[in-house]
Structure 1
Amino acid sequence: MTERSEADGRRLTTRETAERLGVKPETVYAYVSRGQLSSSRAPGGRGSTFDAAEVDALARRTGRREPAPGEPAVRTGITLIADDRYYFRGVDATELAARYAYEEVAEWLWTGELRPGTRFTAPEQAVSAARRAVGALPVHCGSTDRLRVAVVAAAAADPLRFDLSRETVLGGARSLIPALVAALPTVGGREHGTVDTGEPGASSGLAAQLWPKLTARQPDEPSLAVLDTALALLIDHDLAASTLAARVAASARAHPYAVVSAGLGVLEGPLHGAASGLAHRMLAEVLERGGAAPVVADHLRAGRRVPGLGHRLYPGEDPRARTLFGLLERVPQAGPALAAARDVVATTARDVPLHANVDLALAVLSVASGMPAEAGETVFAISRTAGWIAHALEEYGERPLRMRPSGHYTGPRPPQPLPSP
């Protein structure tokens, strides 16, 4: 028989509860077994029912719920987040990132096809324009400032940027990402890194090109593996704030470079891309002071959240952090930073059961590799560019300007008299 809600509307069936939470029915019963949700037998003993208010409260805690009536919703086939895991086009993202390079995962996200050995290439014209523009900035500018300027310069160098056909957009994306990396200054004043032209002997991939832009230390294979995996893991994460901005731009039929600019503008906010920098500074202080306890206490005393902990979409462990911590254990110089991160988690877990998130894992990589605090933000921005392009491609196939909400006016009711000078 088909399950139905009780007449008063306050009880939900298992199917309705699963839909509202955005999970499978089996997960609903897992919540019950963990004590996170209570159930009652439906009349007649067929199936269980759940209190709607309790379900909505759980949805708010886990970040999973169906949109309320009238609330904007975006249908997407790119990323699914469910049950403390996330998937790129239905495939476990952590497994993709563990097996394939960043460029290969990006191609999967864009096309749904796996192309082993894919490497992105940057035309010299785009690289030259981006480097000249970035070189004109004040020396104190951050990496996101440089990336925003580099995107504008690369766009100006591409006469095909207004062509929104799928193949042209993809061709531009494959050249834009390595051009952004090439435009960043090399740490320590060495010559610019080699741009991957696809010729024999060229750089082995984007991670190897990005590394000298982040630190003067020579990379080893385990460290490059962490960076490449981080790039692959961060490509997309459903409708994060920067991705929503990118989709709004694409809805207005902005070209892909403008879409990326919109994403970068939001990414620079302290509540989004810059979070790993806060975690970096915290870890550095933990190492300097010899333990997490005084550092955590200072954060809490000042009314600040402890950086690098918890994620609204993962009640349990952030799968991106779990993957990166596993790889960081193979990097010898990461030992002290890893221990500091675990000390932070253990210290805060005495009162609040929060898990490490990807920002803390990026901070371990940056601290251990002698990178600046903004390195995680740079990795995030370069990686997420591919995700913004994936969402732009999806949005270009939708009705134009569909993301146009109506404002709920709360000002003085007209007619009002003209203001006096």
Structure 2
Amino acid sequence: MTASRAPRFGVNYTPTRGWFHHWLDFDLDEVRADLDSVADLGMDHVRVFPLWPVFQPNRTLIRTRAVEQLVQLVDAARERGLDVAVDGLQGHLSSFDFQPAWTLSWHRRNLFTDPDVTTAQARLLQTLARALAERPNFLGMTVGNEINQFSGAPHPDPDLIAPAQAEEWLRRMLRACEEGAPGRLHLHAEYDAAWYQDGHPFTPAQAARLGAVTAVHSWVFNGTAQRYGATGTATTHHAAYLIELSKAWARDPHRPVWLQEVGAPAPCVPAEGAADFATATVAGALDCEDVWGVTWWCSHDVDRALADFPDLEYSLGLLTNDRRPKPAGRAIARAIEQYRDKPPAPAPRHTALVLDAGPDEDGGPQRAACAPGGAFFEAFARLTADGARPAVVLARQAQDRAQLAARGITELVAVRDVH
């Protein structure tokens, strides 16, 4: 059984005034008020998003004032007992792309392979990390928010790359973060195409092996809630499923996994069911071993005065736009109190579902089976509904007794045998 450790609880910080455009009119008093309301929920960290075009509007210009404002935000968080994780390349947020002009139209070039672009990206990541390296509440850098969505369909204008190029880019960006702030929690984070989409250049192996922890983003508007219902086992255990799926590719049997994004998107999860969904999702995630923490999306609702967001984006906050806790926020606050008073100590998952990912398991060529509606996804959900608490192993791992023993796995189940 895993030693008890209080999990980290945090939020992805969405400013109440101006959303992420607040960097254009940075108001430290407003930030402080936002962070007060976050701390009042019992959170211990926030994840923040410097907008790439605001911080690096020209390839050779990183705005000193913007970096200073990021440092001020981190210092304000420290005053409220909050640690801070910083995403470097934004990248993509809530359906909007944020690329600097020097990568677009007349200056169009590949975000992942153009040497001028990648040099500038590495410089920005290193600069942000170095600016925060001495702050005791700085957790580390995430390379970028779901930046893999630029690398292929369904993006309307993708920067196409191969898996080897994706890995080379990730290694370089992570190295830049480490050079800026040695020893911090530096990682990368993709949306679920990395786990679910055949042929996607960002792979499960990269997610589970590069960086200090594995990040998973668990969104049930990806077909999960639509297919299985808001209260279905597959929906309320989607986060746990992604956590366990990620472990199949990890070389370290106890590599930490960070549930870095999870939320209750309406109408896939009706507003009246958001609190129950939050409670069930957190409980399911913390019934997995080696979970670093849970970071909810997001802190505050988006101001409806702002135009053109998909409707679900406006209501994802744990707090209203005027900083009042919502039912889901109160549910998360109760979970924080519960798990800090009695940290979870999940037993090993003795039963493992065997995933045949094809001959190139590291490349994940048969990922569609893992997606909602896929045979592997449905077998995992059925086992979970039956109380089996399944783990996941790749077919080749099924022969590795040492690896199975390290994870406490004593029984293997084939997908075809799950009814």
- Tell me if TM exceeds 0.5: no
Which range, TM-score by smaller chain? Answer: under 0.3
Larger of the two Rg values belongs to structure: 1
**Normalization by structure 2: what TM-score?**
0.26
Q: TM-score, normalized by length of structure 1?
A: 0.26
Query: Which protein has the bigger helix share?
Result: 1
